[in-house]
Each structure stands twice: as C-alpha cells, then as structure tokens.
Structure 1
Amino acid sequence: MGRKLLVGVVGAVLELAAIILAAPSGADTAEDRQFLTTLKSIGWEIHDPTLLLSQAHMVCNEGLAHGVSIQEMRSQLTNWGYSSRDASTLIDSAIRVYCPKFAAIEDRPPLSLSYQAGVDSGFSMQHEALAHGGAPLTRSEAVTTCDMFMRNADKLPFLYWSGGRIPHSDLDTADYHDGCMAGIKDAGGG
C-alpha cells in the first residue's frame, strides 16, 4: 500500500511539474515581445529581460492601477539605477504596450517627440563634452545651450535625432527645451 501511495504522489508531482513547465514564460506573450522590441529599437541593451518585463508590468499593475503617480514610479526606477531619461522611456513604453488606458494621465511628463529629441540633444552634447575632458555644464550654461539648440532648429525643415526626424512645423519648442535640460542633467551636467 505504501508503494502505491508513493507512486501516486510521484505521478501527481510529475503532472504538476509538466503543467508548470508547459506554461508560457512571461517573455512569450506578444505584448512582452513588443515591449522588448520597442526598447531594443531605440538602442537599449537588454541584459535581464525577465527583470525588465517585471518592472514594466509593475508600472501598470502595481503602480498606475493603484494610484501611484508617474513621478513616484520614475523616482523608484531612478533609485534602482535608471537615469531619469530611461525611467521615463520604460514607463512610457510600458503604458503604450501593457496599459494604454492610462496614456492620458495628467501628471505624466511631457514625452512628446519634441521632448524626446531635446533629451537626445542635451544628453549627447553633455556626454560628448565629458568624454573629451570637458567639465559638466552649469545650469546657466545648460539653459544657454538648450536655447541655442532651440533657436537653430528653425533654420532646418526637419530636426533630426536618434528617433527619426520632426518637421519644424511640428516642433514644440517648450517641450524641446525641457527635454534638452533633462538630457544634460541625465548626462551629468546642469
């Protein structure tokens, strides 16, 4: 009788293990693949997709669904080592893929293309200066630099950045300037 019970228990354990192993992993969903592909397409190197997917799901399921603000989530992600720029990108991408119903939240940071282009410009400029032995920009120098970028943007029909191009007629100069300042700060300046 003891042997039959043992065989029955082992069989049940094996069945349960087969069910667990047959269940799709988190990265096997279409949304997870879309999320990872989106980040890879903008240059993210993904070393731990499981952790990244967990954090993206956290944005929607533990964050926005329970009233946590975008700012609080961005703060938590920066505490975990993300730059403000990357935290905003992770949050924005998670919302677009996993919980688009939260896309219109009022306290959401300006993540327009103009803002993203500004972040890209400011970050690149400060990063290059530091890479070549320059000192971090002061806040005053950052404002002057971002103002200069903004003024010169209207001399071209398009503003080109790592995410593509923005026709000058579609450029929101206030968002661009704010993004430029954030990019400089993320790279260690202003």
Structure 2
Amino acid sequence: MFSGIIESLGRVEAANFDAGKLMLQVATGFPDLTLGESVAINGTCLTVVEFDAQGLAAFYASAETLARTNMGALRQGGLVNLERAVSLSTRLSGHLVQGHVDGLAKLHSITPEAGAYKIELLLPPHLAKYCVEKGSIALDGISLTLNVVTDLASGEALIGLTIIPHTWAHTNLQTRAVGDLINVESDVFAKYVERLCKP
C-alpha cells in the first residue's frame, strides 16, 4: 500500500524487453532496500528482485503489467517516480494507493499558470466513471485532486488538475509532453461502492 507522495525520482539504468516481459534496473537512491520489498514505480507496484548498497535495484514486470501500464515506454536514462510502501506509522499525506494501475490516460494539455501548471487528461470510459470533482486520483503514482471532470458524449472524460510547483519539480511530470500516456489508478473506494451497489 502507498500514499501517492513521491519520495524521489529514479533513473532507469536498463530496460530489457524479452518475450513479453521487462527486466528493469533503476538507480533508486535508497541504500536500505530489502529483497522482496515493494516499490511503486510510476505508480506501479513492483518487487525488488536484486539490489546493491548504492540503491541500484532490479525489478521484473510481467506481460500483464506491460499491457495495463506505461512501463513499456521506459528507456535507459528516463526518470521515474518512486515511492516505498507505507508503514503503520506513516502519515497519510496523499490517499490510499494500491499500486495497481487501472489503465492509461492521454495528456491533453499543459498550461503554466502563476508558477503552477494546469494539466488536462483524457480518460477512457472505464476510468472516467470513477472520477468526481475534488476526488482523488493517482497519476504515475502521484496523489492528486481532481479540479474539473467534464463528461464527453463518447463516454470519456476530460479531467483538469493543478500541479503545484513542488510537485512539478519533484516528479517526472516535468518531463511529460502532450500526447504522453499516464498511468491511472482510480480511487479504490469508488470501485468498492460500484461493486456493492450492483443488484
């Protein structure tokens, strides 16, 4: 379980694709990793399968993970958002994030505004239904608040968010461009409510 508060930016040292899977090496900067530990990389919960004292860690991503996330676009030198799993003593500054990506949204616009950035993303119908104004969403693992949710005739939704300067400077949103695909994890409570309300 995670909180959506990004701890640091990691650098992809290697991204090796083979037979539908990905072996990923990331310079995490975490010197005290443990084997089997969960780390959210761009909001995707992955397991540490190798590590060294400098924080270089290896992760395995399955075909299922590659199909649902933007992990397939990772390349050597790229920056990724990193968060280690929360503990029972951790402050929940963001919201409850599982690290289970529901799908992808397309970055529609980026507009600088008074030192911050307003961004818009286009969400497919299966994700749009879980979005409400002032609700929570995780984008590439970042816990964010929805400012605007505009439902479109296609069933998609255009969502608007404000990215404060701190978040922009300390996440990989600063490297994103219009048209990029962003990992989305919907609010898990909305999914439970939907399931419980079905006849």
Q: Structure 1 length as normaliser, TM-score?
A: 0.26
Q: Structure 2 length as normaliser, TM-score?
A: 0.25
Structure number with higher strand proportion: 2
